[in-house]
Amino acid sequence: MLVFLSKHSSILLIAAAFIGFAFPKLSTLALPFLPYVLFTLMLFTLMGMNQKALVKAIFDSGAWVYAFVHCGVTTVIVTLMGIAFDASTELLIAATAVCATGTLFATPAIVRSVGFEPLKAMAFTITSTLMMPIALYINLAILSSDEFSLDLQDYCLRLFVFIFGPMVFSYAVHKLVPGERLARIHGKLAQFTIILVFSFPFGLTGQYRWLWDSDRPFAITMLFIAFAICILFFAIGLVLYWHKGRSEAYVAAITSGNRNVLLTYSVAGAFLGPLYLPLVGALQLPIYMQPVLVKFFLKKDGKRMAQA
């Protein structure tokens, strides 16, 4: 059963989004447990990585250049587009908060499920998360008319818990457990990793369902906006990294499209406005369609190269 779920995880992630939409009350009940899932997901993912290689990747200047693109460049583009289309302040705040958001901690697991090495995605995830409070503060300072304050103490605590905590624990495991035995253990845990990701689309789409029930025309508009944002993020990562090779370009594109919106909400709270959670819920479908589309394009490219 676990092998089947892992093999078809891309389709099942989309199914989880629809299930969360269909059962909004259950989705809302799952929402408070998602931070615990994040920790477990990070730990399982890091246990399968070479810690020295990961630290080296984090200190690579290229990872920080990516983080600037991930948080800064996307914010500028989305803001300009929002102004051009006369978007409301509430919608701009919600959209730019998504832009400032670091990469979803589940991204390395998603990247692995597509068939790529997750180490680069993990480095991008950590650097973009570290840059998030700066980008978020600037965005809110420019767009918010009310006084606001980011709970940086809470953010730093979560940063330690979700990143440094799993890294330290994983490092200890690598030191104490023989490599061959650890590889066998992680082979089993890796099957659970992608399953944990199912909780994210399920636990967040219920927030979009409440908007759907109260204002369907606007909810449909919000869904189109979510698709546009996600496509834009994906395209930016793909185009800017295409010169480094197809593999790295797809990793950057997937990483750019996945956003850890739950952590952003925990840090900024009500200052994100009333449209943030509905937008986050609407984003779940396009976000988790990415692995399916990437697999399709890779398969198509593979056939084309075989015929050439």
pLDDT at residue 247, rounded to an integer: 85
Distance CA 98, CA 71 (A): 9
Three-state SS string over 5-34 comes to HHHCHHHHHHHHHHHHHHCHHHHHHHHHHH
pLDDT at residue 33, rounded to an integer: 87
- What 8-state DSSP symbol labels residue 115? T
pLDDT at residue 94, rounded to an integer: 93
Segment-wise mean pLDDT, segments of 10 residues, the chain, 308 residues: 68 90 93 82 76 79 93 94 90 94 82 82 89 88 71 72 79 81 74 78 92 94 94 92 88 90 80 89 89 77 61
pLDDT at residue 146, rounded to an integer: 60
The CATH label, of 1.20.1730.10, 3.30.1360.120, 2.40.50.100, 1.20.1530.20, for the domain at 2-307 is: 1.20.1530.20
User: Which pTM was predicted?
Assistant: 0.85
